[in-house]
Amino acid sequence: MTLREQLQDALGASYTITRELGGGGMSRVFVAREESLRRNVVVKVLPPDLVAGVNAERFDREIELAAGLQHPHIVPVLTAGNMNGVPYYTMPFVDGESLRGRLTTTGALPMTEVIGVLRDVAKALAYAHERGIVHRDIKPDNVLLSGGSATVTDFGIAKALSAARTVAPGGTLTQIGTSIGTPAYMSPEQAAADPATDHRADIYSFGCLAYEVIAGRPPFTAKSPQKLLAAQMGEAPQPVNELRPDVPAALAQLVMKCLAKDADDRPQRASDIVRVLETVTSSASHEAMPMILASGRGMFKRAMLVYVLAFAIVAVVAKAAIVAVGLPDWVFPGALVIMALGLPVILFTAYVHRTARRVMGVTPTYTPGGTPSLAQGTMAQMAIKASPHVSWRRALIGGVGAVAGFVLLVGVYMVLRALGIGPAGSLLAAGALGENERILVTDLQSPASDSTLGPVVSDAFRTALGQSQSVMVVQPATVRDVLQRMQRDPKTRVDFPLAREIATREGIKAVIDGSLLNVGGRYVIAMRLVSAQSGEELATFRETADNQSELLPTVDHLAKEVRTKIGESLRKVQSAPPLEQVTTSSLDALKKYVQGTKVIAEDGDFARGAALMEEAVALDTAFAMAYRKLGVEYGNRDLREKASVYYEKAYAHRDRLSDAERFLLLGSYYQLGGHQDAAKSLASYDQLLEIQPNNTAGLNNLATALSWMHDYARAESLMTRAVRVGPVAPVHYENLAEAQVALGKLVEASSSLATCTKSFPRNAICASLDLYVQWNRRQFDSVGAALAVLEPRIADPAMHARAMFLRADLARLHGKLKEASHETARGIELATQTGMKGAPLSLAIAEALQTAFYFADNARATRVLDEGLSKSPIEQQSVSEAPYSDLIAAYALAGQPDKARTMMAQWERRRVAAPAIEDSIRAHGMQGHIALAERRLADAQREFRAADARGCRMCYAPMLGRAYDVAGNADSAIAVFERFLVTPAMERSGVDGPFLPVVHKRLGELYEAKGQREKALEHYRVFLDFWKDADPELQPRVTDARQRVAALTRGPDGRR
């Protein structure tokens, strides 16, 4: 059956459906004839989706309340019923049209009709609200026009549905397109589904309806329902009197007040609206001439008042537009000039009016000689002749036109700039440069009067230009790396020809070349932006400083001009802090800083360079950039106490850094400063990359932090980007390879390091790192052979020491402990050349660990440790260099947990002065060793698990497996040992040396005990392969393993 047939059955013989009128937003509407009274009624059927979840009993109670409304401007509810669970109700048939239909046909209504319709609707609302009934869907569709009056229909239906609905968790009472709320007329509280919505929602909807009948459209139009709801909650509508000037002021004010977002700001009762509408007439005067156009004796004073106010407003708006929108700097003085030109216009207009009024208002008399008695003169004659053409109205129009013309000029300039056309066009828009393009700045030649100025001004210019978020300035450290690869002296001054050569080699698109001249005590700085490939001059810039104290502001202004021409957002250029703020206002301090960085970078003299930078911060104690650089340099040398001090000072003056420098500082500060916070450190690097996506320092630092947190996939992605955008250094390839190894991408890691070796042929670090990749492939023989070839090429003592330790790991892996001890001693000796202290203690720890681990000679191991401490007290070393972790592990392994605990307490006391973000991991490892020595096995397991949660993810796995093993939990021990065997990591060699063979042997024993013969044989054989040529002292273990293999390979009858 159709819906019409079902409805007819429900109505029975009392009503005969004659036709369907069509659906409203909330229902299908039918016209029926009520047989008993021979009249037409309207039957409205609510759709099933609208009544879903409605409590029928409560809906009926709400409809009863609505049916009690008896008012001449309300269409009453006659009856209500239920048709198979779907409610319907009947209302009188009004012979007329809806307000929606009228608006569709005629648009905005005449003002007389507007006032009448609104008065009727307001009366209906007032009557209903007094009885606690809220409509909730006032709109033109629900207002019917008939016989010269308006009536409101569907009163209370929306409220009934809302009140009767059982809202699902997370649901809302607002339903787009139903009478529960229509977005174009819905109050903010309805849009937000506020349960406290009351009758004032109808007042807001009344305001929307009034706005539409006056202006011909609702306050918000042409948007999706979601955007309409957002507009109702957050946007202010255009004043209605701007759309229809003839609206009475009182009515316009009432409408806008009804549209207040806060219900408390609206009229609180509909009866108040009725009273206002009773006082409004359509014949009220709505035209008032602007004050400036009025002709009278007081006009000059009023004109001057308007002019002063307009001058102030234009000045404020121009300045605000420069800051907020990013207009050129010349807009502000230009706007002042335009406004200043208005003053003589006002004075002339006043003079003309005064003169003309005097002439026209006085009867002239003549002297006997015929000379008129009125004042005569050239200006007066000009005023009389000009008077027909001069008026306050024209003065206003001229002023507005001048301001509009200036605005147009600014707009044309911005369009040309955006399109890259003409002198105003930006280089980015013209395609001469690309976004995030790298730019190489040459080294300015110093004037003869001061040989230090060239490097200082060059560095200051790089710093100022480095604030740009559109281009990347190639840093001097990168240039030095390129010069080394070109087999040139890294100290070579980079002049324009060399800069072009470097740019061509590295794919850098543009070079900025410049000169610094001293002319009679004044300094002339000239810069030119040149295409590296063609040599074409893209732009030129020139500034003059009156003396040395003006050099930094001049450089800052010059850099901003370059950034503007490149095409960076003017708002960002103008909001950039002054160069003096992000560096120093002291030229002498800047000189010391530049000299110090060059001494460290070019001469490798850290002590002298640090001393120069410390002199710089003594000259300017708020020199944050120098503090940060000192923190970086000390941190690079693992001198955490010093690094922490300087990071703290830089942090205290972080407002004196550029955005990029500040985010770099915060990233390091939260890693190495006094308040470690991994999340804040990562967030700081992320913020840096938001403004400079290709900042290689930020990419590298964030990647290393993510690797430490085991987010190797993102770390690899960042380092791949850093290597791609360049410029790069060996450390970038190292960190990329580390992430790739951790992800098991060993082929890719070797490829990355091969690219590094090709790019830096004179640097052996990348080739040496590939040894650790080969180690992860279990190519131990290849590691030894490659090490023999590589070692003669290594000049750096620190790298050479690492090679010796790798030799020791290889020897230990094959059970050759004497050779391992010899190589370890050589490595420690080399490490002392890099400034490492406490060599006797380091040797003692290595010997003690070997003695306790391989031979369980705890007494001898303890004696060796005690002697080492007496020869080289650990407290004499800095806490960052002191080997507390190894010492505590050695004491614990030697069965001396009390001594291990004493050392840990000392470490805890000392590290407060120089904490590091990795200290928590180190602490878990130490606690794990102590707990294992004290047979607190559950504690040991928990601590070792925590120790591998960050940083090296397999370094403590053998000890965790041992803790499970000692506890008798063979299955967990096997799982941990097996995971240890297959986890790739650059750090494997240092862990594999002692542990890999013994883990294989222990796995053989555990699998043998479980009866898993094949797995036991597999691990025994790997162990035997490692230790087949082991030292004689270890041969008993080899013999034991061989006997176990022999036993496992015999058949049941004892034969093989």
Contact 992, 808 (CB under 8 A): no
Q: How confident is the model at residue 154 (pLDDT cuts 50, 70, 90)?
A: confident
Q: What's the CA gap between 41 and 29, in Å, rounded? A: 10
Q: What's the CA gap between 901 and 885, in Å, rounded? A: 11
Mean pLDDT of 975-994: 95
Contacts of 708 (CB under 8 A, 6+ apart): 678, 917, 918, 950, 951
pLDDT for 694: 86
pLDDT for 358: 64
pLDDT for 322: 78
Q: How confident is the model at residue 172 (pLDDT cuts 50, 70, 90)?
A: very low
Half-sphere exposure of 848 (CA within 13 A, CB side): 29
pLDDT for 741: 97
Pick among 3.20.19.10, 3.40.390.10, 3.40.50.10070, 3.40.50.720: CATH of 434-567: 3.40.50.10070
Lowest-pLDDT range of 15-19, 69-73, 487-491, 654-658? 487-491
Contact 677, 670 (CB under 8 A): yes
Backbone angles phi, psi at 41, to 5 degrees: -130, 165
pLDDT for 295: 45
Whose CA is closest to 737, among 756, 753, 714? Answer: 753
CB-based burial label for 328 (10 Å; 0-12, 13-18, 19+)? middle
pLDDT for 978: 97
Backbone angles phi, psi at 166, to 5 degrees: -95, 105
In the predicted model, is pLDDT for residue 532 greater than 60?
yes
3-state secondary structure of 73: coil
Mean pLDDT of 874-881: 84
Lowest-pLDDT range of 197-206, 487-496, 580-589? 580-589
Identify the architecture of domain 587-693 in CATH: Alpha Horseshoe (1.25)
pLDDT for 725: 82
Which token pair is 1053?
């009858």
In the predicted model, is pLDDT for residue 342 greater than 50?
yes
pLDDT for 414: 83
Percent helix, strand and coil across the chain, each to the nearest 5: 60, 10, 30
Mean pLDDT of 679-708: 91
Using one digit for the tens of pLDDT, what is the confidence trace for 989-1002? 999 999 999 999 99
* Residue bearing the bigger pLDDT, 877 or 1008: 1008
Mean pLDDT of 558-574: 80
Using one digit for the tens of pLDDT, what is the confidence trace for 485-501? 787 888 888 999 999 98
pLDDT for 290: 30
In the predicted model, is pLDDT for residue 291 greater than 90?
no
Of 58-72, 308-322, 641-655, 809-823, highest mean pLDDT: 809-823
3-92 with 587-693: one CATH topology?
no
Mean pLDDT of 577-590: 80
pLDDT for 287: 35
Q: What's the CA gap between 623 and 601, in Å, rounded? A: 20
Using one digit for the tens of pLDDT, what is the confidence trace for 35-56? 888 889 999 887 776 666 566 6
pLDDT for 486: 81
In the predicted model, is pLDDT for residue 362 greater than 60?
no
Using one digit for the tens of pLDDT, what is the confidence trace for 789-804? 888 888 778 888 899 9
Mean pLDDT of 308-314: 91
Domains of the chain, residue spans: 3-92, 97-279, 295-364+374-412, 434-567, 587-693, 956-1056
**Distances 378 to 375, 384, 796 between C-alpha atoms, Å:** 10, 10, 93
Contacts of 407 (CB under 8 A, 6+ apart): none
3-state secondary structure of 151: strand
Mean pLDDT of 102-120: 92
Q: How confident is the model at residue 5 (pLDDT cuts 50, 70, 90)?
A: confident
Using one digit for the tens of pLDDT, what is the confidence trace for 894-950? 999 999 999 999 999 988 765 666 778 889 999 999 999 999 999 999 999 999 988
Mean pLDDT of 275-293: 54
Q: How confident is the model at residue 301 (pLDDT cuts 50, 70, 90)?
A: confident
Place of tokens 């020809």: 497
pLDDT for 163: 58
Question: To the nearest whole percent, how much of the chain has pLDDT over 70?
Answer: 89
The set of long-range contacts for 171-174, using a CB threshold of 8 Å and a minimum separation of 24, is: 174/229
Model pTM? 0.59
Q: How confident is the model at residue 357 (pLDDT cuts 50, 70, 90)?
A: low
pLDDT for 152: 94
3-state secondary structure of 25: coil
pLDDT for 954: 92
Which token pair is 727?
């410029």
In the predicted model, is pLDDT for residue 701 greater than 60?
yes
Q: What's the CA gap between 935 and 897, in Å, rounded? A: 10
pLDDT for 178: 40
Contact 772, 734 (CB under 8 A): no
In the predicted model, is pLDDT for residue 363 greater than 70?
no
Q: Identity (one letter) of the amino acid at 192? A: A
Which token pair is 526?
């000239």
Using one digit for the tens of pLDDT, what is the confidence trace for 598-646? 888 777 788 898 999 999 999 999 999 999 999 888 877 767 778 888 9
pLDDT for 367: 44
pLDDT for 498: 92
What's the CATH fold of domain 3-92?
A: Phosphorylase Kinase; domain 1 (3.30.200)
Lowest-pLDDT range of 53-57, 241-245, 1021-1025? 53-57
Pick among 1.10.760.10, 1.10.510.10, 3.90.1200.10, 3.30.460.10: CATH of 97-279: 1.10.510.10
Q: What's the CA gap between 183 and 235, in Å, rounded? A: 14
pLDDT for 285: 37
Using one digit for the tens of pLDDT, what is the confidence trace for 217-229? 999 986 688 889 8
pLDDT for 677: 82
Mean pLDDT of 853-871: 95
Average pLDDT, the chain: 85
**What is the enclosing helix (H) or strand (E) of 541?**
strand 537-545
* Residue bearing the bigger pLDDT, 80 or 121: 121
The set of long-range contacts for 130-135, using a CB threshold of 8 Å and a minimum separation of 24, is: 130/271, 131/65, 131/68, 131/69, 132/65, 133/65, 133/66, 133/69, 133/159, 134/159, 134/198, 134/199, 134/201, 134/202, 135/159, 135/202, 135/205
* Residue bearing the bigger pLDDT, 1035 or 415: 1035
Half-sphere exposure of 990 (CA within 13 A, CB side): 14
CATH number of 956-1056: 1.25.40.10
Q: How confident is the model at residue 169 (pLDDT cuts 50, 70, 90)?
A: very low
Residues paired with 42 in a beta bridge: 31, 91
In the predicted model, is pLDDT for residue 175 greater than 50?
no
